[in-house]
Structure 1
Amino acid sequence: MEEQLFEATRAGSKRNDAGPSRGGGEMQSTTGATSLKLLLDTNAFIALEPTSTAVERGLEFGAELARLAAEGGHRLYLHEATRRDFARDHDLARRSAHLALAAKYPALSGIPKSALADLLTRLDLPAPPLSESNDAVDLEMLAAVGAAAVDYLVTDDARLRGRARRTGLAENVLPLAEAVQLLRDLSPRPLKPPPAVEHVLSYQLDPHDPIFDSLRDDYPGFDAWFAGVRRAHRPAWIIRHDDGRYAGVMLVKEETDTPYGLPGRLLKVSTLKVTDEAHGRRYGELLLKTLFNHAEHHSHDAIYVTVFERHATLVDLLTAFGFRDHGRSPVGELVLAKGRRPSVQDAALDPLKFHTTFGPPAIDTRAPFFVVPVEPRWHDVLFPDYPGQLSLLTGEHPYGNALRKAYLCNAPTRRVAPGSTLLFYRSRERSAVTVAGVVEDVHVSHLPEEVARYVGRRTVYTLEDITRLCRSARPVLTLLFRQDRLLEPAWSRGELKTAGVLNGHPQSITEVCNEEGRHWLQERLNEQR
């Protein structure tokens, strides 16, 4: 019997423990599905509970977060340290209003002191900050996340999110817009077409689109530069909002020299921008997928981009896909570069690091191979850009177009490990391996709340779907992986059987142990690089 597959794009915390949740008693939504616990930072609280007649930043997201939480049975908390912070406000009217509104939310308290001590160690702080300081409030909220008292901390404070990165908690600390998207993703919803990545030439871009306003703020000479770019007819790609405005835009330039000492055929990313309201929709990964395909098709040896350090979300995204610090530009930007040609010395990298550094596409063919059977209906969702099925224009869900994804099933195998190569086998009418990926992490659990916390940020399935899968006699096996390449033409079951990769139709995740089959796979993947 073929395994049931639930698919999601890569998500939340990377805990490998399969034991009971450390988060205490779990809430249940009115539909019976597991719900999440979210801790609100001060700026998120103010977006939900504005006290000013002025339109607060994030007000629309705050209203939607409150609605989605109520509909899904999710719990919104305030930390006792935040309440203490409100009580110290010298503006008496604002203090009274905040304290009254804060009473609507359960208070989070009693976090073990060991959780705070662990944070201080990770941040290399000799002693806790003064109890009445903003730093103390930040650390107490992060300690609550580290102790799994809540699933996510919601904050638009870039400094606080920076500390979360340094303490290994970044996946569980979300900007307000991404928290809204998380609850959207986990809520029952009608499917809608994904965004189309449109290839255009730079002269076809509308210079008056609002997406360019922040670039004008960053670069005083932007309009003169952009006019020259448009005359040069450079390649560009856009993703549109439903109303036609740009949700994302990317511009590239073929370099004719070797800036910053970068060797070989060089591609510069001149612009990579996603609007604030589109954060959490994986449009950044969708544009990076387009970028890597373009670089592979045109045989570029390296890619680089310059970006101001304050754009932390973009820096994090690029770093996650192998861009590394390569100095500073004349105006003080970070220069982030990604090489695409491994050297002999790079053979020492572990398979996951090898893929992240040089791919996609890049697979260390010394790693174990696993064939993963996927029913056609789930293959369409997981890989909507595979030729001959759905496309970026007509697929059912945008999140399948991201590069970081997850495979959920009840398979018994426990041999899959980070760095393993996954060969996705589309069953039934095609009966062929169509896509290759590289495992990023593995998680096993019977508990819906653990699975949801693990894949929740980017899942295409609801909490009810995850709960249903957890009712199986076997625990849920979650494989976080990175899509490496589409295999064109697909490798048919007949040639896989002849090569010694398979003995027949795979019914479950199957490791390729036959040395002849492994050698055949190594040759085929190396040929297609």
Structure 2
Amino acid sequence: MTDYLIRTRKFEDLNINDIFFDSLKKDYVEFEDWFMAKSKKGRKALVVEIDNKIIGFLYLKHENEQLPDINPPLPIKKRMKVGTFKVNPHGTRLGERFMKKIFDYATQYNYPEIYVTIFPKHKALVSLFIRYGFKLIGTKTTHNGIENVYLKDFNTRADEVLLDYPMVDTKKNSHLLAIKPKFHSLLFPDSILSNESFDVLEDISHTNSIHKIYVCFMNISSFKKGDNVVIYRTKDDKGSAEYRSVATSICRVEEVRSKHSFSDSQEFITYCKKYSVFDEQDLTNWFKNDNFKTIKMTYNVAFKKRITRNVLINEIGLDRNQYWGFFHIDNNKFIKIIKKSEINESIIFD
């Protein structure tokens, strides 16, 4: 897969005459004036380019005000507005990757709400926002026409993994899942091995999507939809497991499948390649084994402070002598992990 990087770019460094912006100019007659105003103010956007041509553009805006031009009006509140969101369809999950950046930004800066205005004709974009819990709450009428307004309220619980994304629910069962370093760094690129907080606007690889699929040979049948999964990166060759094996992030289970759920190897390969980092030859070989499991998860949050095996045992209270491939974590220990990880606890349902 080609690695399309999402980069932070200044408006002034972008070409307003790029054909990518033509549809936006048609939808919004004032788009060029708006764009130039952002350029003069030094504003930045998230951009994906191929051969110096833009294929994806995302602009996020902080607001803390009443919104009387929406029907019905919204009261004064801190919100993040998705100001501009457009991707050209080209066979990748770029829209989903932008959606993850929206949530990363909102949770890092503690926005209780996110909203976006979309013309009804943009059906694919509407579906994307609805998929991750945005609800139609009104309309906005301007000289450009009538747009629908969709809002995501982080204080509303739907009790469904995608609709609640990126929330973590402490009332659900929780587990630890060990992943080897070579796969971990590709599947979870935000979960860098550093005690420094990550910058949500840094470049990210194509693997940084909301959904992840991991193939293992452990009997993880106890993992159920909605369960929390603490991702545990096993040690590399740079030191002992005590300090080089670390808990790095939290996912939530979408589904667990075994071999008998796939009609043949091709269905298995097609399913896994969407959201995994495994090559086709490995997948072909693994399908010959009757004992594999696939786990599809949402990637909800990367820890700001990674937690070493030493801390997990001596401070959290996990059992040193149990099998560390996977195991259940009781609620009290899971909450301790959350606090020790220094993530924004506003994304926690309790």
What TM-score do the two structures reach when normalised by structure 2? 0.82
SS in structure 1 of the partner of residue 207 of structure 2:
helix
Quick one: structure 1 residues 394 and 256, their matched pair in 2 at CA, closer, same or farther if it must change by over 3 Å? closer
CA shift, 1:328, in A, is: 1.9
One-letter amino acid of the counterpart of residue 517, structure 1? K
Higher relative contact order (CA 8 A, sep 6+): 1
Aligned residue type for 1:247: I
Partner SS for 1:520: helix
1:208 maps to which residue? 17
Q: 2:325 aligned to 502, 508, 515, which one?
A: 508
2:48 aligns with one of 239, 264, 281: 239
Q: Is the 8 A contact 1:234 1:251 kept in 2?
A: no
Q: How do 1:416-435 and structure 2 match up within 5 A?
A: 416-429=223-236, 430-435=244-249
Residue 244 of structure 1 and its aligned partner are, at CA, apart by: 1.5
1:371 maps to 176
Shift of residue 233 of structure 1?
3.3
Corresponding residue number in structure 1 for 2:8: 199
Q: Which amino acid aligns with 2:117?
A: T
CA distance in 1, matches of 2:326, 2:125: 35
Q: 1:386 aligns with which of 191, 198, 203?
A: 191
| Cα shift readout 1:144-182 (whole Å, capped 9, x = no counterpart) | xxxxxxxxxxxxxxxxxxxxxxxxxxxxxxxxxxxxxxx
Q: Which of 78, 81, 85 lines up with 1:268 in the alignment? A: 81
Q: How big is the shift at 1:519?
A: 4.7
Match of 1:229 in 2: 38
1:195/1:239 contact within 8 Å kept: yes
Number of matched pairs: 322
Counterpart contact for 2:174–2:328, Cα < 8 Å: yes
Aligned-pair distance for 1:417?
0.8
Please tell me whether the aligned partners of residues 309 and 315 of structure 1 are also in contact (alpha carbons under 8 angstroms).
yes
Compute the RMSD of aligned alpha carbons: 2.8
Partners of 2:304 and 2:342 within 8 A in 1? no
Counterpart check, 1:293 vs 2:104: yes
Structure label with greater radius of gyration:
1
Q: 1:228–1:519: structure 2 CA closer, same or farther, 3 Å change rule? A: closer
Aligned counterpart in structure 1 of residue 146 of structure 2, from 329, 332, 336 = 332
Partner Cα distance (1:303, 1:380) in 2: 29
Calculate the TM-score normalised by the size of structure 1.
0.56
1:394 Cα deviation after fit: 8.3
Q: Secondary structure at 1:332's aligned position in 2?
A: strand
Task: Give the equivalent residue in structure 2 for 1:404.
Answer: 211
| Alignment check: 8 A CA contact 1:373 1:425 kept | yes
Measured at CA, do residues 505 and 428 of structure 1 come closer, stay the same or move farther in structure 2, by a change above 3 Å? farther
Identical columns (%)? 25
Partner amino acid, structure 2, of 1:251 = Y
Distance 1:327 1:424 in 2: 39
1:436 aligned partner = 250
1:466-505 aligned within 5 A? 466-474=283-291, 476-498=292-314, 499-504=316-321
Q: Aligned residue for 2:240?
A: none
Matched to 2:192, the amino acid is P
- How far apart are 1:301 and its partner, in Å? 2.0
- The residue aligned with 2:265 is 448
- Pair 523,428 (structure 1): closer, same or farther in 2 beyond 3 Å: closer
Moved more, 519-528 or 246-255: 519-528
Q: Which amino acid aligns with 1:336?
A: Y
Mapped contact 2:79–2:114 kept (Cα < 8 A)? yes
Q: Is the 8 A contact 2:96 2:210 kept in 1?
A: yes
2:134: which partner in 1? 323
Task: Indicate if the aligned counterparts of 2:187 and 2:276 stay in contact, CA closer than 8 A.
Answer: no
Q: Say if 2:57 is the partner of 1:252.
A: no
Please state how far the C-alpha of 1:402 moved relative to its aligned partner.
Answer: 0.8
Rounded Cα–Cα distance in structure 2 between residues aligned with 1:223 and 1:519: 49
1:512 offset after TM fit, Å?
Answer: 1.7
Match of 1:521 among 337, 344, 349: 337
